[in-house]
Homo-oligomer: A and B are copies of this chain.
Amino acid sequence: MAKITAHDLAKKQKEISVAEFFERNKHILGFGNQTRALITSVKEGVDNGLDACEEANILPDIYVEIKNHEDSECRLIIEDNGPGVVKKQIPHIFGRLLYGSRFHAIRQSRGQQGIGISAVVLYGQLTTGKHAKITSKVESDRPAVVANLVIDTNKNRAEVTGKDTVHWEKPTGTRIEVSIVADFKRGKKYVYEYLQSTSIVNPHAQITYKEPDGTVHLFERTSEVLPRKAIEIKPHPHGVELGTLIKLAKHTKARQLNSFLKSEFSSMGDRTTNAVIDKAGIEKTINPKTMTREEFLAIHKAFKKVKIMSPSTECLSPIGETLIKRSLKNETHEISPEFIITASRPPSVYSGNPFQIEVGLVYGGNLPKEEPVKIMRFANRVPLLYQQGGCVTTSAISSIDWRRYGLTQPSGKGVPTGPAIFLIHVSSTLIPFTSESKEAIADVEEIENDIKLAFRECARKVQHHIHKKVRRAKTREKFDLITRILPEIAKKSANMLDKPVPILDPIITKIMDIVWIEDIIEYEKVSREPVQTTLIGNNPEGQKSGGTITKSRIMVVNYKRDPQKFNLYAIIPKDAVVGTINPKPSKITSNFIKWNLDAIPPANKIDVIFELAGLEQGDFDENDLYIENINPTFVIGADKWEGE
């Protein structure tokens, strides 16, 4: 065999352009087959539109149209009302992989790679040989620009051919038209599912979707307010790699170590900065550009030894428990599940990247009992449809022993089987996707742990809920027995003895010996004028106020022998604004209302009423009630107040 040397091999060693790389590995970008290519294309286009609108503080209005030609060629049109893209950036944004504005910014956004939308254009060119057509309008009093893009994959650069201007009625916006080889027949239901799920977790967006046969689906806007904008932050010292620290120091404008740390990192106030520098044993006025690797290493170690505040969560924009509950309700409205429980974790950090976990759990009803539970995954408000098996959300769920919660799971591992739906939303400044197709989240330990904790909280709530229900049902049974049979006995005995029927209330209370608390929730549609609200409670999502009033009526009945005087607490649901309250509360915070109830005489009842705005019908369907200054074992329907 001929000898092959390093010199022979060197002749073949050459650069690979990133476009060329993905052209050959298009499955990594989510274009692995014609069905998935369709969904990925729609997803990248819509995500891009939503991000653009939100960045410019515009309520998104997205138009999606698919035309299906013969030979499985589809023409995809995606239009947004965002700020548009300036002319000279069009070939870069839409025709060059690894180019964009969101990659370098540390804040939650859908796109974070600078690959998505140009990958669609590349895929279109690769499979159909046709050029993508981009229309962009950046100022309301100027015409729109139309550009056809040709990508040179060897160079990862696009050229514009046939530039033109047209009149476009929109004030500003972007329109992408691209031909792709795709399988609409098989992809149809996934495209719909993706748009529907997107609409549920993005209630501020309006999405119009026209299918090839002319059918138009309108996913209406249900909130007129944009979600809280995620604010860009500096990197957090926790999790910053030593190499990144050195690199930042090389490029900083700061001349001294202390100002470098304060200006380039988040959560580094004067005190923390000094503590870090002290711990590292370095002069704080040293010029960071002259520092040695060992000095940086000392700083890097000090980061871990000094207590540093968690990064600001302004960079995140979670969905919120109300919206999660609503989306699960929507998903299950024909199933009438037994209960829907949500939980959210406080924001946390992995490798310096803030993240937050929100989960929801639906159980029972007509959900299939013999199938693996349905898992709904979201990342930065984007539904994830593929690669469930390779996602950290699945491995977190699989590692919990669900058998004690009534689900089937061989050997306590794996995705459980049973009548349940699990929802998970991960929001982060950098979702650690397993690949550029952004379909699955990598198994980062911190994220996995937080998902487990969130589901454990859900599970505890489920157990608590079941416990309360069982206790109440038992007491009610006893109560029914007493109130039905005792009067009959009394009546018969009185008749036989020809005496008047005795008053039984004291006897009933004597037998019952409890305080019974029960609540009824009613919804009332009101006109658009806002109701008078006590401005307490949190409403970050800016739900439509005024649409629905949620009325809570809590009945407290004393079935004990003595008058009862105690304090009652009601938890205010998230995203709600409190209106009328009766009787007057003794305290009200953003989380709860507290009443110092008047003494209730035996066999007497008190009604406590409060109203909530900012929720939709069904968002809130059961009070979380607590009591204080009374033995909780004698109370049905409320638990012991453990403090805030």
Contacts and interface: CB of A to CB of B under 8 A. Distances in A.
A493 interface: no
A624 interface: no
B13 A100 contact: yes
B443 A99 contact: no
Contacts of A444: 27, 32-33
B241 A434 contact: no
A14 B434 contact: no
Contacts of A125: 243
A633 interface: no
A390 B440 contact: yes
Given A24-B103, A100-B16, A3 B56 contact: yes
A446 to B, nearest CB: 10
Given A6-B84, A10-B85, 16 more contacts: A4-B55, A6-B86, A9-B83, A9-B85, A15-B96, A15-B98, A25-B113, A27-B432, A28-B434, A129-B242, A129-B246, A372-B413, A387-B390, A389-B390, A410-B417, A434-B437
Interface residues of A, number: 97
A100 B100 CA distance: 27
Contacts of A255: none
A618 B436 CA distance: 45
Nearest to A246: B129
Contacts of A98: 15-18, 21
Contacts of A389: 389-391, 394-395
A103 B16 contact: yes
B27 A442 contact: yes
27 contacts: A3-B57, A4-B83, A5-B56, A5-B172, A6-B136, A7-B86, A10-B85, A10-B88, A13-B93, A14-B101, A16-B98, A16-B103, A23-B243, A27-B432, A32-B432, A33-B443, A33-B444, A127-B242, A129-B242, A129-B293, A130-B293, A153-B247, A372-B414, A389-B394, A410-B417, A414-B414, A435-B435
What's the number of copies of this chain in the assembled complex? 2
A263 interface: no
A83 B127 CA distance: 39
Nearest to A92: B13
Interface in A76-134: 83-86, 88-89, 92-93, 96, 98-101, 103-105, 113-114, 125-130
A401 B413 CA distance: 20
Contact of A408 (B92, B129, B410): B410
Residue with the greatest number of chain B CB neighbours at <10 A, chosen from A18, A57, A390, A430:
A390
Given A13-B89, A13-B100, A432-B25, A1 B130 contact: no
A476 B244 CA distance: 74
Contacts of A5: 56, 83, 138-139, 172
Contacts of A293: 129-130
A633 B10 CA distance: 64
A433 interface: yes
A28 B435 contact: yes
A419 to B, nearest CB: 14
B434 A371 contact: no
Contacts of A241: 126-127, 181
A499 interface: no
A193 interface: no
Contacts of A13: 89, 92-93, 99-101
A377 to B, nearest CB: 13
Nearest to A16: B98
Contact of A129 (B52, B296, B436): B296
Contacts of A16: 98-100, 103-104, 113-114
Nearest to A297: B129
A618 to B, nearest CB: 32
Contact of A7 (B99, B138, B435): B138
Contacts of A408: 410
A56 B32 CA distance: 33
